[in-house]
Chains A and B, each alone.
Chain A
Amino acid sequence: MRAILDGLYRASSAAAAVCLCMIASLVLVQVFGRILDGTLRALDMPIAGITVPSLNEIAGFLFVAATFLALAATLRQADHIRVSMLIKVVPLGVRRILEAVVLIIATAIAAYAAYHAVLQVVDSIQFSTVSFGVIAIPLWIPQTALAIGLVVFAIALADELITVITSGTPTYQAHEEAKSEILQKPVITPEDAERGMS
């Protein structure tokens, strides 16, 4: 079970990373196509006309997919920001309860959002909605990425909740602490500091 879940989060974040690579590649093709045409025109030669049709829309879709598919991995690496002042100062037992309460609320919101994201996909399929651009892309395709991302996010939150209840420490805690305490190891030793102060 653990391996399946970890695989799910990894696959989802890998798909998000691929979306970013695709955005960069498509935009670069468009830019270099334009530069090439400009050069050819300056040389009085026929233009090559390399463009990416509907790039603006496709890039937007890929961005949505990248965002939502990365949600779970971002949670586990403690990259979603929150105010952890209170949670850090309370005693361990209270902290565990707080963490559980937060995760219950979070799971509920994520599950609610995921459910409605799935309904949105169903709607788009039913009404065969497509994008406005040169290439009419069925909207359910990018919307499915949004829905999958939220579903995986809800699963990851529920997973953390179970972890907190059974073992007390969420996965993201280690990353969270590492982030606020040491980004790198101290580069100024106390001796250096003394020397500087005197």
Chain B
Amino acid sequence: MGIETLAIVLGLAMLAALALGLWVSLALTAVAVLGIVIATSVPVGTVLATTFWGKLNSWELTALPMFIWMGEILFRSKLSEDMFAGLAPWMRGLPGRLLHVNILGCTIFAAVSGSSAATTATIGRMALPELSQRGYDPRIAIGTLAGSGTLGLLIPPSIILIVYGAATEQSIARLFIAGVLPGFMLAVLFMGFTAIWALTNKDKMPAAEPPIPLRERMAATRRLIPIILLIVAVIGSIYAGLASPTEAAAVGVFCALILSWLSGTLTKDSFTQALLGATRTSCMIAFILAGAAFLTVAMGYTRIPRELASWIGVMELSPYALLAALTLFFIILGCFLDGISIVVLTTSIILPMVQAAGIDPIWFGIFLVLVVEMSQITPPVGFNLFVIQGMTGRNIFQVALYALPFFGLLVLGTVLLVIFPEIALWLPETMLSNR
């Protein structure tokens, strides 16, 4: 079988397996088996077992369950209330007022959690009812939440960057640090848009509330201090080279347990639930990674990625044109697939092509996460949409419509990242230890 035919057969097999409803991890494994059987005569089963074992048995990956666990503990604590109470008093003076609580709350929670669904749910649980009670237009309230919830993916600790780092053998610490500035940039874009929207849509904003005296504001914000300390400790120690991501994550779990104990939400029940939840989420992601690792090996045998890379090389596409084409491709893919599946499929097949085009793999990781963030708010499959549908009862297409401006801002953010790659690459270069 020629390589073109093989590529088409495997592509169709993948589409069919996914559309049929086969679990993503198993679909990856199945297509890999098919590829190896057709292209070579190597013993498939042995390759499968050694890849599953060899790829998952890694110190770097151990950060994954730890960060997931930390997020699960905090998700079950009083953080949601504290965040609203601590942020709201300061936002009253800004145009857009309490809408900014959505954005800043998500930004802060994103810095302790690696998942965008958890970020959206934690902040939305408190902020949506409050905003709606105060008469904010639900369209913008929901839109800001859906948009800024995606920050959970980019701002470290980021589960998806761990997946990307593990799949491409890039330093997870550097990827984390590279995600900080782009995360801030997006938060600023979101806040700027919300402020402009509020100024131009004064009729849709509720009447202003009286400002709160500074002392009361400080008192309310004190509740946020522990969480800020936790963020500084986790990200700061990685940046300073004091701790590897795994170590920072384990300390994060420990601190999260203490925080939840101090706030009285740590019970035997909540501990077990958080632990089992973390066990399952980590299992789901790790098994997809195992399938993806096996697919990468299989793809190596079929030589498809190499052919693809040289084909792109022959076309002499500029990096900009390549990135534009990839962005479009990922947006379409993102309508049907979740972020982690997109990342692992990309790293198995497209990465050699990207590297052949001379694109920095750390930068590409950040770019990929930005594009994957868009997939969180595009219907019919978008995890933030599902979460918000669950909270508001509005269907996902409606929610997606409210989130559309933020989709646009994500595209704008991606364009800025392409024009100014330093947004992602400057901070990692200043890291104290270059691991």
Contact = CB atoms under 8 A, between A and B. Distances in A.
Given A20-B65, A67-B286, A195-B135, A81 B341 contact: yes
A36 interface: no
B29 A113 contact: yes
A181 B390 contact: yes
Contact of A113 (B49, B336, B387, B391): B49
A122 to B, nearest CB: 11
Given A16-B279, A21-B275, A196 B141 contact: yes
Interface of B: 17-27, 29-30, 33, 45-46, 48-50, 52-53, 56-59, 61-62, 64-66, 69, 121, 124-125, 128-129, 132-133, 135-139, 141, 243, 246-247, 250-251, 253-254, 275-276, 278-284, 286-288, 290, 336-338, 340-341, 380-381, 386-387, 389-393
A80 B59 contact: no
Interface stretch (A40-48, A102-110, A161-169): A102-110
Nearest to A55: B59
Nearest to A120: B49
Contact of B45 (A27, A66, A83, A112): A112
A1 B422 CA distance: 60
Interface string A66-87: 1110110111010111111111
B287 A67 contact: yes
A101 B30 CA distance: 14
Q: Is the interface of B mostly helix, strand, loop or mixed?
A: helix
A24 B253 contact: yes
A187 B392 contact: yes
Given A31-B247, A74-B284, A187-B391, A63 B61 contact: yes
A7 B124 CA distance: 37
Contacts of B23: 75, 80-82, 106
Contact of A24 (B33, B250, B276, B281): B250
Contact of B48 (A27, A77, A87, A113): A113
A196 B137 contact: yes
Contacts of B52: 113, 117, 146
Interface string A139-170: 00011001000000000000000000000000
Contact of A196 (B45, B56, B136, B250): B136
Interface of A: 13, 16-17, 20-21, 23-24, 27-28, 30-31, 56-57, 59-64, 66-68, 70-71, 73-75, 77, 79-87, 98-99, 101-102, 105-106, 109-110, 112-113, 115-117, 119-120, 142-143, 146, 179-184, 186-188, 192-193, 195-197
Contacts of A187: 124-125, 128-129, 391-392
B46 A116 contact: yes
Contacts of A197: 137-139
Given A77-B280, A83-B18, A120-B46, 19 more contacts: A13-B280, A20-B66, A21-B275, A23-B65, A27-B62, A60-B59, A60-B62, A80-B287, A82-B27, A102-B20, A106-B22, A106-B23, A116-B48, A117-B53, A181-B389, A184-B121, A187-B392, A188-B129, A196-B138
Nearest to B257: A24
Contact of B22 (A17, A102, A182): A102
Contact of A192 (B61, B65, B133, B387): B133
A106 B381 CA distance: 22
B29 A109 contact: yes
A80 B141 CA distance: 31
Contacts of B280: 13, 70, 73-74, 77, 79
B59 A64 contact: no
Nearest to B130: A187
B62 A117 contact: no
Nearest to A61: B57
A188 B135 CA distance: 12
A20 B139 CA distance: 41
A134 to B, nearest CB: 14
A85 B275 CA distance: 30
A183 B390 contact: yes
Nearest to B133: A192
B237 to A, nearest CB: 9
Contacts of B64: 63
Contacts of A105: 17, 20, 22, 26, 30
B277 to A, nearest CB: 9
B26 A188 contact: no
Contacts of A61: 57
A98 B19 CA distance: 11
